[in-house]
Amino acid sequence: MKKILALVLAMMLVLSVSAAFAEKAGEGITIGVVYKQSGNPYFQAGVTGFEEAAGELGFEFMHDGPDDGSSDGQIRIIENYIAQGVDVLCVSANDPAALVDVCNEARAAGIKVISWDAKVDAEGRDLDVEPASAKVIGVTQLDSLVNSIGGEGQIAILSAMATAPNQNLWISFIKEALESGDEKYAKIELVDTVYGDDEYTKSFNETQGLLDKYPDLKGIIVPTTVGGPAVSKCIQDAGRDVKVTGLTLASDMKEFIDAGIADETFLWNPIDLGYASSYAAVAMAKGNFTGAVGEKLECGRLGELEVTESDDGGSILFLNKLNSFTKDTVDAWVDIL
């Protein structure tokens, strides 16, 4: 009798354990994560995103990056992952072109290739996972500044080089939003766009020019990491009540966020990138997601995301959620970004 009872109990245990395992979608899947450089806090944060998703999905992953940030180091690591027979590669490429051949070899061996954070060219990947579309990047900064200045007043933009393609694209979406006739932008006037060439001193001087020229200026959008601290420092020195937002490093902006010059600034979130890449990887390995344009993917806490066409002709998955640094959150990011 005791034996039968023990047997029944043991069977129940086995069943419940296997049931618990079966619930996890990524069981038995191995992901090889390759990032640009080992020891880089940005990618260590990215790895915590993979860890978080591994806890939810139950897959296993390995991660590595070359110490010199070279492409041939990444090729070595990818070759090792191919030899180990991983199911999916998630690569943040040091060079979009150099990794194409080795990634295609991996794909020929039945391995899915996802690039995250920094793309592999379209012909060498199945999907690219990136923070946000140009439109979201532009409009998020605009909305934050509009909020900061109470929805009313003159604003300006300090960009990088006049020819910088990314910045120009973001700015075009900011202008598009302002001209869209949306009620919340009705009392906002974009008075000027100046260029700091990603140099601290030039950015500082251009800001001084803006402050002199527009005595009623209420806010500046700075979509470049070099410009953020230069603009903020200039405003602080001038003692003006002008708000700053933009794409900045948390470490650069902490003192200005604490001083109230900036209420909120933004950058990518490597944790979310790793997390979303994991969900895409598991879905691909399971075969119920191919990464084709128009497909939708359930990404855990990030909700449902849609694959769109990338400007290089491949497919891309945007998280469309920027990482926001405010008085409350900036401290946690200072050592990472």
CB of 325 to another protein, least distance (A): 29
| 328 half-sphere exposure, CB direction, 13 A CA radius | 2
The residue within the footprint of another protein, chosen from 8, 9, 22, 67 (CB under 8 A), is 67
Show Cβ contacts of residue 214 under 8 Å, excluding neighbours closer than 6 positions.
154, 156, 191, 192
Give the nearest distance from C-beta 302 to another protein in angstroms: 29
39/173 Cα distance (integer angstroms): 35
Q: To the nearest whole angstrom, how small is the minimum distance from the Cβ of residue 15 to another protein?
A: 20
Shortest distance (Å) from residue 99 CB to another protein: 7
User: Judged by CB under 8 A, which stretch of 3-11, 58-66, 199-207, 261-269 contacts another protein?
Assistant: 58-66
**How far apart, in whole angstroms, are the C-alpha atoms of residue 313 and residue 315?**
7
* Contact (CB, 8 A) for 195 and 158: yes
Instruction: Choose which of 70, 168, 208, 236 interacts with another protein (CB under 8 A).
Output: 70
The one among 58, 65, 229, 246 contacting another protein by CB under 8 A: 65
Closer of 35 and 195 to another protein (Cβ): 35
CB 323 within 8 A of CB 272: yes
To the nearest whole angstrom, how small is the minimum distance from the Cβ of residue 273 to another protein?
Answer: 21
Say how far apart CA 257 and CA 116 lie, in whole Å: 29
Candidates 137, 149, 74, 136; CA nearest to 106 is 74
> Are the C-beta atoms of residues 34 and 111 closer than 8 Å to each other?
no
Query: By rule CB under 8 A, what string of x and - marks binding of each residue 244-273 to another protein?
Result: ------------------------------
Residue 148 backbone dihedrals phi, psi, to 5 degrees: -60, -40
CA 215 → CA 212, 238, 241, 324, 325, distances in Å? 6, 12, 10, 29, 28
The site that binds another protein (CB under 8 A) totals a number of residues, namely 29
Task: Convert residues 121-140 into a mask of x (bound to another protein by CB under 8 A) and - (unbound).
Answer: ---x----------------
> In terms of CB distance, is 82 or 276 closer to another protein?
82
Contacts (CB under 8 A) with another protein, residues 79-108 = 79-80, 83-85, 95, 97-102
Alpha helices in the chain (DSSP H): 2-23, 41-57, 71-84, 100-108, 134-148, 165-178, 200-213, 227-238, 250-258, 270-286, 330-333
Task: Give the whole-angstrom CA distance, residue 100 versus residue 98.
Answer: 6
Please select the residue that binds another protein; options are 71, 193, 205, 208, rule is CB under 8 A. Answer: 71
Q: Which of 26, 73, 138, 274 binds another protein (CB under 8 A)?
A: 73
**What strands, in cross-sheet order, belong to the sheet with 243-246?**
188-195, 153-159, 217-222, 243-246
Q: Which is nearer to another protein, 48 or 236 (CB)?
A: 48
30-34 vs 88-91, strand pairing mode: parallel
Nearer to another protein, 46 or 219 (CB): 46
Q: How far is the CB of 246 from another protein (least distance, A)?
A: 25
Q: How many residues does the chain have?
A: 337
If binding is defined by CB under 8 A, does position 237 make contact with another protein? no
Between residues 78 and 261, which has the closer beta carbon with respect to another protein? 78
Chain residues binding another protein by CB under 8 A are 30, 38-39, 62, 64-68, 70-73, 75-77, 79-80, 83-85, 95, 97-102, 124
